[in-house]
Structure 1
Amino acid sequence: MSIAELGAILSDMYNNSPKEDAALIVRLFGIRYAAEIKKDNYSNEEIMKASGISEAYINELSKGVKLSVYVSSKQL
């Protein structure tokens, strides 16, 4: 998966969620796509830029990727 694809997915998840859940959604993205991010050694900065979301959420993405070792995402 390319950085552009990951950015588009993150943007879609972020823009289609309640604003009060924005930080949680960015973490959830990190959990769901951590394997892709790690496999291709993408930086969180690259993904945030590709998504068009404020880089203020970069720490939330990092938290999600780190959490992926301990949790899994439940798809609805």
Structure 2
Amino acid sequence: MKWFYNLLLYFQKRGYYVCQRIADRLGIRAKIVRTSFIYLTFVTVGFGFALYLFLAFWMRIKDIIYTKRSSVFDL
């Protein structure tokens, strides 16, 4: 089990180092970069869900307005 924690620690250090390098390049703190990535993740997931609801609503309205008619005499 120790090898798992060592592997986890390795990836955590390297992952935080990526944020640190981006922060150094932009001249800001690494904490701001990390929280920005977290907020961006939440916004992206929320945007996808909102898009899904909008499309479902739009398709429902379309089905209500445009009903299928089997023949010309079904007016």
Q: TM-score, normalised by structure 2?
A: 0.31
Q: TM-score, normalised by structure 1?
A: 0.30
Q: Which has the bigger relative contact order, CA under 8 A and spacing at least 6?
A: 1
